[in-house]
């Protein structure tokens, strides 16, 4: 296997034993990028080769002095392009921020840099993280490495695609309604959205502040634990940050005997048969590992998606008010200040972003506030209460991550509501603030990966990681590789 296709865990062991150097790993990643970037995309910015190799050399000299800082010291990785990086373009895949170079670093980048991670580049995404396919990117074109005629999922489609195609060993994505989990499911990788408040949002360009969370996209659950150990930290620069005492990697046991798994059979009504079969087979595997299945019946299945699109758009309409042609990025000068705002925003934002701003402004406007926004907040309480009750009966809730495998590019772009339906299984975790992960659990007949979603109560990431780790120890879906990777060797 090529170095760029290995896990953090494997490479870390090899680095510790001095069997490989960070420079060798980084060069292998760069060579993979040059082979596949025109085929499947994934990046908006790849850093200069010398900048990358200098960081790798620094890691190598620490390693030769036996001063390796962490398991990710010397490991090449990527960030979604909505995370601020000082001196490196941070565009949110939007024309309005095309030339924006942040003057500061987001907290997660600081943590990964301090741990010795080697940043390779910034990943493509749906503009301002609004979308489920990465087709809303104004600056890139990312395709699914398993089939380049299909979407990579979104909005962190670039992050999932680069990990799945060996263009980075791991990546960070952000998840407001499923944006880490959906592309992870479509690209056959493992992605976890942590509990709201567990990872600092400082320096993450805000979409919907009460829902946004940053999390890792990796090849497996063990790597996810390694990354969470670096980024789950209290941060006084994020007023919602919480101190979490955890040691995820060390506490990965792989023993889940007696774990109670909640399932809601309503999730399977009318579901695509391939996805249903894959999830049910996974449930059988869990039973074989000693787990017990508990029936749940959520009362929120019909209201969750509407509540999500109302709350997230309302918050987005407020958060995106700052992009006015005065403070950041692009400016189209008008006759007066209002004209400048209008021209800049009309030109700078793509159609999905405008749709969300209009929807959000509408649901917050007087006369409609009670009918939409307030009602959505009530739905939010119902969803949170439902999960609180569910976790009295079970340790994790399992469902599909998505209603299908990845679909053709361009197929749904004409129908925003059809695309919104892709998020049906993922949005409730954000609304309730709980952690949830997607791991590969099978393939469709067309050979596209299928994702299994595992959710747990707030701050129970360890339970999810253990459940995912145990499953991955007894299956090998997460080890399969797209043809594009096999051919690139
Ligand atoms: N697909 C959802 C949306 O378009 C979720 C996006 C996200 O999680 N950033 O809003």
pLDDT for residue 415: 83
CB–CB of 400/182 below 8 Å? no
Atom number in ligand 1 closest to CA 419: 1
What pLDDT sits at residue 412? 75
pLDDT recorded at residue 280 = 97
Task: Please determine, for residue 327, whether its predicted confidence score (pLDDT) is greater than 90.
Answer: no
Taking the complete model, does pTM exceed 0.95, yes or no?
Answer: yes
In which region does residue 192 sit, left (phi positive, over 0), alpha (psi from -120 to 50) or beta (all else)? Answer: beta
- Could you give the residue ranges of the DSSP H alpha helices within 20-106? 22-40, 49-64
Tell me the three state secondary structure of residue 458: coil
Ligand 1 geometric centre to CA of 176 (Å)? 6
Per residue in 183-228, pLDDT tens?
999 999 999 999 999 999 999 999 999 999 999 999 999 999 999 9
All residues at 6 or more sequence positions from 455 whose CB lies less than 8 Å from its CB, including other chains: 387, 396, 397, 398, 399, 428, 429, 434, 435, 436, 437, 464
User: The tokens of 164 are what?
Assistant: 């799945």
254 pLDDT above the threshold of 80 = yes
Distance 91 CA to ligand 1 centre (A): 17
* Residue 488's pLDDT band (cuts 50, 70, 90): confident
| Residues in contact with 257: Cβ distance below 8 Å, sequence separation at least 6, in sequence order | 289, 290, 291
Whether 355 and 127 have beta carbons less than 8 Å apart is answered as no
Expressed in angstroms and rounded, the spacing between residue 306 Cα and the centre of ligand 1 is 13
Confidence at residue 175, expressed as pLDDT on a 0 to 100 scale: 98
In the structure, which protein residues have their CB atom closer than 6 angstroms to any atom of ligand 1? 129-132, 155, 175-179, 207, 312, 423
pLDDT (mean) for 403-417: 88
Sorted by where each starts, the structural domains of the chain and their CATH numbers stand as 3-260+475-488 (3.90.1300.10)
pLDDT given for residue 329 in this prediction? 85
SS3 content of the chain, % helix, strand, coil (to 5): 45, 15, 40
Q: What are phi and psi of 157, to 5 degrees?
A: -65, -35
- Residue closest via CA to ligand 1's atom 4 equals 131
Q: How far is CA 428 from CA 105, 312, 436, 484, in A?
A: 30, 12, 10, 34
Beta strands in 43-180 (DSSP E): 43-46, 76-80, 118-123, 170-175
Report the pLDDT value the prediction gives residue 328, as an integer from 0 to 100: 85
Q: Give the catalytic positions in this structure.
A: 80, 155, 179
């Amino acid at each position: 296997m090529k170095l760029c296709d290995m896990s953090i865990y494997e490479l870390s062991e090899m680095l510790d034993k001095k069997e490989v150097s960070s420079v060798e790993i980084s060069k292998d990643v760069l060579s993979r990028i040059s082979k596949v970037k025109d085929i499947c995309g994934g990046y908006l910015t790849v850093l200069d080769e010398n900048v990358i190799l200098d960081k790798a050399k620094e890691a190598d000299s620490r390693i030769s002095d036996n001063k390796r800082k962490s398991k990710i010291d010397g490991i090449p990785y990527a960030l979604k392009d909505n995370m601020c990086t000082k001196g490196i373009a941070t565009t949110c895949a939007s024309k309005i921020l095309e030339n924006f170079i942040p003057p500061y670093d987001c907290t997660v980048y600081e943590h990964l840099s301090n741990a010795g991670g080697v940043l390779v580049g910034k990943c493509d995404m749906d503009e301002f993280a609004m979308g489920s396919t990465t087709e809303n990117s104004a600056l890139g074109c990312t395709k699914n490495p398993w089939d380049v005629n299909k979407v990579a999922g979104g909005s962190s489609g670039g992050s999932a695609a680069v990990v799945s195609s060996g263009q980075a060993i791991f990546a960070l994505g952000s998840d407001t309604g499923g944006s880490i989990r959906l592309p992870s499911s479509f690209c056959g990788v493992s992605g976890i959205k942590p509990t709201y408040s567990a990872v600092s949002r400082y320096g993450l360009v805000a979409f919907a502040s009460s829902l946004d969370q940053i999390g890792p996209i990796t090849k497996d659950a063990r790597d996810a634990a390694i990354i969470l150990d670096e980024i789950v930290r209290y941060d006084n620069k994020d007023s919602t940050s919480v101190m979490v005492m955890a040691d995820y990697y060390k506490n990965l046991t792989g023993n889940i005997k007696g774990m109670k798994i909640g399932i809601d059979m309503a999730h399977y009504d009318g579901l695509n048969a391939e996805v249903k079969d894959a999830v049910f087979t996974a449930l059988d595997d869990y039973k074989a590992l000693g787990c017990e299945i508990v029936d749940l019946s959520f009362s929120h299945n019909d209201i969750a998606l509407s509540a999500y699109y109302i709350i997230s758009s309302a918050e987005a309409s407020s958060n995106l008010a700052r992009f006015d042609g005065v403070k950041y990025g692009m400016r189209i000068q008008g006759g007066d200040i209002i004209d400048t705002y209008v021209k800049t925003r009309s030109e700078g934002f793509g159609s999905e972003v405008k749709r969300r701003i209009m929807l959000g402004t509408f649901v917050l406007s007087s006369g409609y506030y009670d009918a939409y926004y307030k009602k959505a907040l009530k739905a939010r309480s119902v969803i949170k209460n439902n999960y609180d009750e569910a976790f009295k009966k079970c340790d994790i809730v399992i469902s599909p991550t998505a209603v299908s495998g990845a679909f053709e590019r361009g197929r749904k772009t004409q129908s925003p509501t059809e695309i919104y339906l892709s998020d049906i299984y993922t949005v409730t975790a954000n609304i309730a603030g709980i952690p949830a992960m997607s791991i590969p659990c099978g393939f469709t007949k067309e050979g596209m990966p299928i994702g299994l979603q595992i959710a747990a109560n707030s701050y129970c990431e360890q339970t999810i990681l253990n459940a995912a780790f145990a499953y991955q120890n007894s299956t090998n879906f997460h080890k399969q590789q797209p043809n594009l990777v096999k051919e690139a060797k």
